[in-house]
Amino acid sequence: MSSGISGSNSHLNYFLESCLEVTAHSFTSIAYTGLKCFKFDVHRFIGQLNSFAESSGYHYRFESRNAYIIGSVQAIASVLVKSTPYSVKSPTSIDPATAVYSAITMVDAWIDGGKRDVGYKKSYIRLVQDLMITGVTSPSRDESIKLLDSHTILILFAHQKLAQRPGWATFIRDFDRLVKAGDREFTSTTPSTCLRATELVGAYSAAAIFNAIFIDHPSNLKRSIKLDVMRLGAVMNIIDDIFDYSDDIKAARKTFVTQSETIELGQELGYAKCAKLWTQLKANKSRHQQLPMQNTMAVWWLRNRFNSGDLSTRDFAKILLKT
């Protein structure tokens, strides 16, 4: 299905020409990282999750059908590591980050399915948050609301790997901010409030991944690096909604695109915000620091545009063939 994006849209053109850039080498490197995750890393990680589930007394087992979500998350975490400055110490493992964001992604898909009401969504997310913090399954006030075993296993795995390590307090703080951003997303109804919610959810999702990856080295990370990663996460989440409008309409989800007067105006609103975030990202940064962020945004945009079925050679050339 066409994304509805016209080549005459000024914010789209600015975003393509000024905010995105990827060299052939970077494109190949990121593509290889993604392929490696899907072909090898995700199956190792699923095996690790299943061993954990068995040892914890759960009958649920992750299967190859879960690889699409988990592999995508693992690839994002791996690329995120490469997007940070070389001076940052290497993480001990991306597995906890993969568990955290796989849970976030699966929970988001679950509560958005079946047109569940706001009360259900908030109650379910509170159960997720309580489990992440305590590592203990808490009963819901509403007996009809119970965490799925797949979500429980991912969250318990993450809790076991992250709890009480040096960056745990920061992780929990930002996870709480992510939950509050999700609440805001559930209740937003205008294009501007929906866009702000999308921005915050993306930013604090990225913060959760970032905190989990570098859970052992929080004191070595500059605040400016984390803010850049959060802005990158915001851009990626906004791009998701720019292209996912068809599914969002079918599921009755309110986004800055679906709530706008037209799809095109909503997408332009999103691109304008992405361009503003990029301006903040590149402020006072060297070309060497900017490029990884541009590479990541470009590949994410290309992925979404390709999935929408209307990626043009001209648009690809705008991103790839820069001097």
Can you say how many angstroms the Cα of residue 153 is from the centroid of all Cα atoms in its chain?
A: 20
Q: Which candidate, 234, 294, 243, 216, places its Cα nearest to that of 21?
A: 294
Mean pLDDT of 87-100: 72
- What pLDDT score does 60 carry? 95
Question: Which of 6-20, 112-126, 178-192, 236-250 comes out lowest in average pLDDT?
Answer: 6-20
Mean pLDDT of 240-268: 93
Residue 145 backbone phi and psi in degrees, to 5: -105, 115
pLDDT band at 91 (very low <50, low <70, confident <90, very high): low
Domain boundaries, the chain: 10-320
- What pLDDT score does 74 carry? 85
Q: Which candidate, 309, 163, 318, places its Cα nearest to that of 243?
A: 309
Distance, in Å, from the CA atom of 319 to the CA atom of 323, rounded to the nearest integer, reads 10
pLDDT at 90 over 70: no
Question: Which of 4-18, 22-36, 187-201, 264-278 comes out lowest in average pLDDT?
Answer: 4-18
**Cβ contacts of 70 within 8 Å, gap of 6 or more:** 42, 45, 46, 62, 98, 102
Q: Which candidate, 44, 75, 74, places its Cα nearest to that of 62?
A: 44
- What pLDDT score does 24 carry? 78
In CATH terms, the superfamily for domain 10-320 is Farnesyl Diphosphate Synthase (1.10.600.10)
**Number of other residues whose CB lies within 10 A of the CB of residue 287:** 8
- What pLDDT score does 92 carry? 56
User: pTM to 2 decimals?
Assistant: 0.88
Distance, in Å, from the CA atom of 197 to the CA atom of 17, rounded to the nearest integer, reads 26
Distance, in Å, from the CA atom of 249 to the CA atom of 247, rounded to the nearest integer, reads 5
Q: Is the dihedral of CA 30, 267, 285, 167 positive or negative?
A: negative
**Cβ contacts of 42 within 8 Å, gap of 6 or more:** 67, 70, 71, 74
Distance, in Å, from the CA atom of 166 to the CA atom of 143, rounded to the nearest integer, reads 36
**How far are the Cα atoms of 33, 41, 45, 282 from residue 38, in angstroms, in the given order?**
9, 6, 11, 31
- What pLDDT score does 87 carry? 53
DSSP state of 90: P
- Type of residue numbered 37: C
- What pLDDT score does 139 carry? 65
Q: Which candidate, 36, 168, 183, places its Cα nearest to that of 120?
A: 183
What are the pLDDT digits (tens) for 40-55? 888 889 999 999 999 9
Mean pLDDT of 250-263: 92
- What pLDDT score does 142 carry? 67
Q: 255 with 265: CB under 8 angstroms?
A: no
